[in-house]
């Protein structure tokens, strides 16, 4: 139904059914001084051409920066033209959930292939069809870990180097368990493994939450954390990653024993989009399949013994009793996930490694240009933090006045970080642009 007119006869029937004589009586409970008694001051209607001209004018008021070195959870990467070309096909460009496998084999196979690639990247056994983004994936992961633990008598230990936005989402998800959550102090720019060991030995820790690369861009020592947790098998390890491209060079968290692996998927296939929308990776071990949130696509044989795909698990509130549902998230970000799948397939294993290598080498090139005393000591991937003499916000403002962005001021999250500037380098940045940034920083920082 595209348009249903409301004739006077229709209006009279509605009022009669409600039990009032006219519209005035219907709204009698609203004081007259609160009602608008004249036409709203809307601008007159515009043609499509006029609307386009209006928005072009608005866009010109905030011009796009020539160069951006801002990351902090959302990253700009080269996106091949094949992505929108395939993603925009009518068979894929839909928000419809593939409940009817007999007419959705193409989309279901895409989800299945994404699950396969997600498991290969994270080195885990099981992946769902994706979630909203990295932060909600982390929140769902901790709730899943709480379900697995059942008694929930121990603490939820989180790293102090968790991205503050992720921390806020996690605190919202786990508000009912706020008394069990504890922040573990850092040793400089990474998790303090000595304090972690003491905590594990002296207290019951149900869940450990880590993020690598962390808010400072530093790589956590997952090998050592994995060794520690092997001696404490009752602790579930939940990991988060803002930049999954790091798995092009490093082992996935599953290789070190992580129980639940989550990540922000935006880097694969999706532009920055002013911060979203995106999709989230959610991977785990086969033994936890009954606690998996979201949906899972499986492979089977149809009645003609042909390969077929269908929704295997979808334990959400709409399908089963609320008390047995694993999540109240009622969908996944299929279209964004599809863009990620296309990107991963177009790159291939060697392409992902090459892209990751470029990110790392260009980042290390910039670091080599800067004085060591302003750099953090831990290894990084394609993002790192420098200590600034003046507030980092001042540096960002100065670069913005020249129509480029030198990084992200971490002081926007916590006042004690106001002299920390987070810089992101990707394959998109040229040597000339990186040299320009180095020259700017040397003048302002050294």
- Residue 134 token pair: 């990295």
Q: Radius of gyration of the chain from Cα atoms?
A: 26
Is the same domain home to 102 and 192?
yes
Is the same domain home to 71 and 134?
no
Is the same domain home to 173 and 318?
yes
Is the same domain home to 101 and 209?
yes
The more confident residue out of 194 and 330 is 194
Is the same domain home to 116 and 158?
yes
Would you say 121 and 252 are in contact if contact means Cβ atoms under 8 Å apart? yes
Q: Which residues, listed in sequence order, are joined to residue 393 by a DSSP beta bridge? A: none
For residues 349-366, average pLDDT: 97
Question: Is 17 a member of any domain?
Answer: no
Is the same domain home to 314 and 357?
no
Is the same domain home to 355 and 332?
no
d(CA 159, CA 182): 9
Is the same domain home to 240 and 322?
yes
Phi (first) and psi of residue 77, to 5 degrees: -130, 165
pLDDT value at 323 more than 90: no
What residue has token string 């959610």? Answer: 282
d(CA 96, CA 374): 50
pLDDT value at 65 more than 90: no
Is the same domain home to 313 and 428?
no
Q: pLDDT over 70 for what percent of the chain? A: 97
Where is average pLDDT lowest: 41-50, 178-187, 207-216, 296-305?
41-50
Is the same domain home to 301 and 356?
no
Question: Is 236 a member of any domain?
Answer: yes
pLDDT at 1 (0 to 100): 42
Domain boundary among 312, 344, 376: 344
Question: Is 205 a member of any domain?
Answer: yes
Q: Can you give the CATH number for the domain in which 332 is found?
A: 3.40.640.10
Would you say 280 and 137 are in contact if contact means Cβ atoms under 8 Å apart? yes
**Residue 281: which of 316, 245, 314, 251 has the closest Cα?**
245
Question: Is 11 a member of any domain?
Answer: no
pLDDT value at 207 more than 90: yes
Is the same domain home to 74 and 123?
no
Domain boundary among 278, 312, 344: 344
Domain boundary among 344, 363, 391: 344
- Residue 312 token pair: 């295997």
Q: What angle do CA 205, 207, 211 make, to 5 degrees?
A: 125
For residues 396-411, average pLDDT: 94
Question: Is 398 a member of any domain?
Answer: yes
308 class by beta-carbon count within 10 Å (0-12 exposed, 13-18 middle, 19+ buried): middle
Domain count for the chain, please give it.
2
**Residue 219: which of 202, 235, 198, 239 has the closest Cα?**
239
Q: Can you give the CATH number for the domain in which 412 is found?
A: 3.90.1150.10
Cβ neighbours of 132 (radius 10 Å): 22
Question: Is 131 a member of any domain?
Answer: yes
Global pTM? 0.85
Q: pLDDT over 90 for what percent of the chain? A: 72
Question: Is 418 a member of any domain?
Answer: yes
pLDDT value at 27 more than 50: yes
Give the mean pLDDT of the chain: 91
In whole angstroms, what separates CA 331 from the centre of its chain?
Answer: 15
What residue has token string 């936005």? Answer: 165
Instruction: Please state whether beta strands 67-68 and 404-405 pair in parallel, antiparallel, or not at all (unpaired).
Output: parallel
pLDDT at 174 (0 to 100): 93
For residues 103-116, average pLDDT: 92
Question: Is 26 a member of any domain?
Answer: no
Q: Residues near 266 by Cβ (< 8 Å), separated by ≥ 6?
A: 74, 75, 133, 134, 272, 276, 278, 279, 336
Is the same domain home to 146 and 278?
yes
Q: What is the pLDDT of residues 279-310, one digit of tens each?
A: 999 999 999 999 999 889 999 998 899 999 99
Q: What is the pLDDT of residues 170-186, one digit of tens each?
A: 999 999 999 999 999 89
pLDDT at 318 (0 to 100): 64
Q: Which domain holds residue 214?
A: 82-344
d(CA 39, CA 16): 27
CA within 13 Å, CB half, 397: 6
**Residue 423: which of 371, 356, 364 has the closest Cα?**
364
pLDDT at 146 (0 to 100): 95
């Amino acid at each position: 139904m595209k348009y249903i007119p409301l004739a006077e006869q229709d209006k009279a029937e509605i009022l009669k059914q409600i039990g009032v004589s006219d519209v005035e009586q219907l709204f009698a409970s609203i004081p007259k001084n609160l009602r608008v008694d004249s036409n709203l001051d809307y601008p007159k209607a515009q043609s499509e051409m006029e609307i386009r001209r209006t928005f072009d004018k608005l866009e010109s008021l905030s011009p796009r920066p020539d160069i951006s070195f801002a990351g902090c959870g959302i990253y700009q990467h080269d996106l091949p033209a094949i992505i929108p070309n395939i993603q925009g096909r009518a068979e894929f460009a839909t928000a419809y959930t593939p409940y009817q496998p007999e007419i959705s084999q193409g989309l279901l196979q895409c989800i299945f292939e994404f699950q396969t690639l997600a498991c290969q990247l994270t080195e885990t056994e099981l992946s769902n069809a994706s979630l909203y983004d990295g932060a909600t994936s982390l929140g769902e992961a901790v709730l899943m870990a709480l379900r697995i633990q059942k008694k929930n008598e121990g603490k939820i230990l989180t790293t102090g180097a968790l991205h503050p936005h992720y921390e806020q989402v996690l605190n919202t998800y786990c508000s009912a368990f706020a008394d069990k959550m504890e922040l573990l102090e850092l040793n400089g720019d990474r998790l303090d493994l000595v304090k972690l060991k003491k905590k594990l030995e002296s207290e019951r820790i149900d869940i450990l939450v880590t993020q690598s690369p962390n808010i400072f861009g530093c790589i956590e020592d997952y090998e050592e954390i994995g060794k520690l947790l092997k001696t404490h098998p009752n602790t579930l390890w939940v990991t988060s990653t803002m930049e999954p491209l790091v798995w092009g060079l490093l082992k996935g968290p599953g290789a070190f024993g992580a129980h639940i692996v989550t990540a922000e998927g935006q880097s694969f296939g999706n532009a920055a989009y002013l911060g979203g929308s995106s999709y989230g990776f959610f991977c785990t071990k086969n033994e936890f399949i009954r606690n998996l949130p979201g949906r899972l696509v499986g492979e089977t044989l149809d009645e003609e013994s042909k390969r077929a795909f269908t929704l295997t698990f979808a334990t959400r509130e709409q399908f089963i009793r609320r008390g047995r549902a694993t999540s109240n998230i009622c969908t996944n970000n299929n279209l964004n996930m599809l863009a990620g799948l296309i990107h991963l397939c177009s790159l291939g294993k060697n392409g992902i490694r090459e892209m990751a290598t470029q990110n790392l080498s260009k980042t290390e090139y910039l670091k080599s240009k800067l004085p060591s005393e302003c750099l953090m000591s831990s290894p990084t991937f394609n993002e790192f933090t420098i200590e600034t003499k003046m507030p980092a916000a001042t540096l960002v403002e100065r670069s913005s006045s020249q129509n480029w962005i030198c990084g992200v001021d971490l002081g926007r999250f916590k006042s004690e970080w106001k002299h920390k500037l987070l810089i992101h380098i990707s394959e998109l940045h040229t040597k000339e642009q990186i040299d320009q940034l180095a020259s700017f920083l040397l003048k302002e920082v050294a």
